[in-house]
């Protein structure tokens, strides 16, 4: 059912338990939020790119990342307008803007925008690596087993399974109405909305009928009668996968620890700090790098069956 959207691929990351990729991606997202220093953010971003390359999903990853290019440009454009805290002024506009005064473009504001864009790219890249290596259906299935928000996870899983059927229904209904001569994409906003009446109401009624059928099927299988659910598939989780999960948690703790001892931050204002590392910081960076990149060799070993 999901094949057209999530084509099945085979790589060492696809063979991992979905929870491993989820926890690793989350650890990258949290670490990206913890650090301001561009060096740490670049390390995290590189790790996500390498995972996308080794997982053979780089093309999909690229198509996903293009979504945030516009947002990055917006961040880099807006920051110089809002911030008057930089000391290296590159240009002063000859007019005043209400609320923000006379805009000044400073080197620091551009760098701040670039730094925030790098953070956004890292977070997006972590999400993209997760989405292209794990089928959301499998991920939701794994989460249901943990019984953390079981009803919510089940509803999400059920809704996700409805999606392709609904998109197909919506396409069919649109084609049917267009073949009857109804113009869906002409006229003003209200005319366009009104033209969709013969698409939306049959889609709604169909879907609600489908909901009734699913509910009856669930009830006939005694849904909710037994607090402990059983599952059709029981994917095994090996020692190396537990190690990846453990190291992902350790990555978050290491990031918090590094920030606590005073490293990993960076001040863009009032003027850009030089990026230097003290002798005490280097061991922290090495340990953090090992933790973030450890998923690559571990997934390789796991895929060879050396559990």
Partner 1 sequence: MKKSYIILCLVSVLGLFSFLIPVFLPDSVFDPSSSAFSWGLFVSTVMFLGVAAFLLEFERSNVGSKEIGFIAVLGAVSAALRVPFAVVPGMQPSTFLIICSGYVFGPVAGFMVGALTALLSNIFLGMGPWTLYQVFAWGFIGFVSGFVNLNRRWKLVLTGFFGGYLFGGIMNLWFWSAFIYPLNLNTFLAVNVNSFWFDSLHAVGNGVFLWVFGPKTIKIFKRYRNRFHIEQI
Q: Which of 155, 176, 249, 282: binder of partner 1 (CB under 8 A)?
A: 155
Min CB(156)–partner 1 separation in Å: 6
Q: How far is CA 112 from CA 31, 71, 83, 124, 208, in A?
A: 18, 14, 10, 18, 49
Binding window for partner 1 (CB under 8 A); candidates: 44-52, 67-75, 235-243, 284-292 = 67-75
Min CB(297)–partner 1 separation in Å: 27
Q: Which of 170, 289, 300, 303: binder of partner 1 (CB under 8 A)?
A: 170
100 vs 286, which CB is nearer to partner 1? 100
Residue 83 binding partner 1, by CB under 8 A: yes
Q: Which of 62, 265, 301, 306: binder of partner 1 (CB under 8 A)?
A: 265
139 vs 298, which CB is nearer to partner 1? 139
Tokens representing 39 are 């060096």
Quote the CA–CA distance of 284 and 253 in Å, as a whole number. 12
Residue 14 binding partner 1, by CB under 8 A: no
Residue 34 binding partner 1, by CB under 8 A: yes
Q: How far is CA 154 from CA 130, 226, 234, in A?
A: 20, 15, 17
Tokens representing 234 are 């029981």
Q: How many CB atoms lie within 10 A of CB 2?
A: 15
36 vs 241, which CB is nearer to partner 1? 36
Residue 198 binding partner 1, by CB under 8 A: no
Residue 167 binding partner 1, by CB under 8 A: yes
Do 254 and 289 touch, CB atoms closer than 8 A? no
Residue 301 binding partner 1, by CB under 8 A: no
Residue 109 binding partner 1, by CB under 8 A: yes
Min CB(243)–partner 1 separation in Å: 26
Do 56 and 9 touch, CB atoms closer than 8 A? yes
CA-based nearest residue to 172, from 208, 196, 195, 199:
199
Do 77 and 153 touch, CB atoms closer than 8 A? no
Residue 257 binding partner 1, by CB under 8 A: no
Binding window for partner 1 (CB under 8 A); candidates: 13-21, 198-206, 234-242, 296-304 = 198-206
Binding window for partner 1 (CB under 8 A); candidates: 51-59, 112-120, 226-234, 282-290 = 112-120
97: β partners: 101
Residue 26 binding partner 1, by CB under 8 A: no
Min CB(20)–partner 1 separation in Å: 18
DSSP 242-297: HHHHHHHHHHHHHHHHHHHTT-S----SSSPPP----TTHHHHHHHHHHHHHTHHH
Q: Which of 42, 87, 96, 267: binder of partner 1 (CB under 8 A)?
A: 267
């Amino acid at each position: 059912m999901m094949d057209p959207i999530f084509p099945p691929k085979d790589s060492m990351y696809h063979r991992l338990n979905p929870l491993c990729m989820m926890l690793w991606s989350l650890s990258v997202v949290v670490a990206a939020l913890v650090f301001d220093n561009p060096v740490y953010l670049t390390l995290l971003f590189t790790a996500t790119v390498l995972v996308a390359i080794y997982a053979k999903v780089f093309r999909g990853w690229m198509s996903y990342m293009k979504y945030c290019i516009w947002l990055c440009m917006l961040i880099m454009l807006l920051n110089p307008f809002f911030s008057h805290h930089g000391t290296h002024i590159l240009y002063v506009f000859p007019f005043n803007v209400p609320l923000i005064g006379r805009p000044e473009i400073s080197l620091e504001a551009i760098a701040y925008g670039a730094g925030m864009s790098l953070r956004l790219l890292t977070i997006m890249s972590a999400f993209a690596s997760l989405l292209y290596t794990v089928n959301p259906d499998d991920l939701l299935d794994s989460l249901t087993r943990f019984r953390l928000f079981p009803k919510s996870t089940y509803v999400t899983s059920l809704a996700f399974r409805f999606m392709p059927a609904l998109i197909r229904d919506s396409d069919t209904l649109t084609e049917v109405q267009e073949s009857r001569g109804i113009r869906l994409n002409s006229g003003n906003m209200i005319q366009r909305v009104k033209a969709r009446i013969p698409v939306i109401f049959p889609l709604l009624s169909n879907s609600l009928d489908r909901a009734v059928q699913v509910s009856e099927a669930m009830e006939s299988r005694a849904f909710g009668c037994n607090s402990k659910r059983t599952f059709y598939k029981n994917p095994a989780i090996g020692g190396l996968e537990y190690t990846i999960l453990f190291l992902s948690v350790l990555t978050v703790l290491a990031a918090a620890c590094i920030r606590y001892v005073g490293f990993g931050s960076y001040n863009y204002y009032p003027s850009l700090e030089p990026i230097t590392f003290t002798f005490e910081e280097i061991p922290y960076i090495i340990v953090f790098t090992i933790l973030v990149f450890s998923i690559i060799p571990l997934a390789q070993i796991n895929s060879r069956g050396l559990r």
